[in-house]
Amino acid sequence: MLTKVNLPNLIQGDQGAAVSLLQRLLVIYGYEQYLNPSGVDGVFGSGTSQAVQAFQGDHFLNKDGQVGQLTWKALSYPLAIPISKSGSATESKTRDKV
């Protein structure tokens, strides 16, 4: 049985395990270039805020740099694929032939 986990809302200046989780997810999704050179450090600084804003923009969320439940939800979907600038998914989809 799966248990729902409520993750805290995060803003710049926050620190701790939830921020480290956020940073790890941002790295997985390819936003590591925004983070501090030390990478995952558990500190929600300006780099983490920029990474969050970039992620939010790519996923049609309000680009406020704050991590609320909608941003956590978008981060939690495995293989969430942002839409490319041309309007199509960045990963091609194929259908099985019958």
Confidence at residue 92, expressed as pLDDT on a 0 to 100 scale: 37
What local confidence, expressed as pLDDT, does residue 79 receive?
56
Tokens in use for 61?
């969320």
- Phi-psi map region of 39: left, alpha, beta (phi>0 left; psi -120 to 50 alpha): left
**Are residues 36 and 44 in contact, defined by beta-carbon separation less than 8 angstroms?**
no
Q: For the chain (length 98 residues), average pLDDT per consecutive 10?
A: 78 98 95 91 97 96 96 82 51 42
pLDDT of residue 39: 87
**What integer pLDDT is reported at residue 96 of this predicted model?**
45
Q: What is the pLDDT of residue 88?
A: 45
| pTM: predicted TM-score of the whole model, two decimal places | 0.76
pLDDT score of 34: 96
- pLDDT (0 to 100) of residue 63: 97
Q: Which of 84, 54, 58, 59 is nearest to 70 (CA)?
A: 59
